[in-house]
Amino acid sequence: MLLVYVAITKFTLPKIEKKIDQSNLKSEEVLHAYHMIRIVVGILTFAVILIAWGIDFSGLLVISTSIITLTGVAFFASWSLLSNVTAYFLILSQTSFRRGNFIRVLDADNYVEGFISEINLFSTKLITDDREIIVYPNNLILTRPTIINPRARWKTVGKFTDRPEPKIQRQQKTKG
């Protein structure tokens, strides 16, 4: 069974590592993601070993059901810490959320925009044009409409009514 763990880590982890390397993350974030993936693979391998040794499967079934339930809660509970951790792994797998990309997160009438500087387990750090640091929860980045590298920049934080008028509307007002 140890061979199964070695086989999984030799074939699966390089593919995951390639995806993470393409995401342009800092080395600390990459190491954290590697450790989390190795822990998950290790737990799954340990579970397979327990089943092979004939240890009571009903107890393992209860544990796995609990884990699946927690994962389900993580996907649907918007303010739980578990949803931020789940969102962290989803953000890591998306290449559009790379370090250095400029994003605008829309939330009803408000917005937040800035460059992605760090992606942590619970939050993402954005740096605005004014060099302010905004720490934004990962689950909100995934659940709110997000514009990646928008054409025009507004103020760093504010309401939609605060943004400047487009040139076309200003020209029409002056003519009319």
Query: Burial letters for 21-60: b for 16+ Cβ neighbours within 10 Å, e otherwise?
Result: eebebeeebbebbeeebeeebeeebeeeeeeeeeeeeeee
What does the block give as tokens for 1?
Answer: 């069974």
Which spans in 23-153 are helix H?
A: 27-52, 57-76, 81-93, 138-143
Tell me the pLDDT tens digit for each residue of 19-63: 766 766 666 677 777 777 778 878 777 777 777 777 776 776 787
Q: Record the pTM.
A: 0.53
Class of domain 97-161 as given by CATH: mainly beta
Tell me the pLDDT tens digit for each residue of 87-140: 888 888 787 888 888 999 988 888 888 999 999 888 999 998 889 999 999 988
Contact assessment for residue 50 and residue 58, using Cβ atoms and an 8 Å cutoff? no
Beta bridge partners of 127: 115, 133
Nearest to 145 by CA among 101, 98, 113, 99: 113
Domain boundaries, the chain: 2-92, 97-161
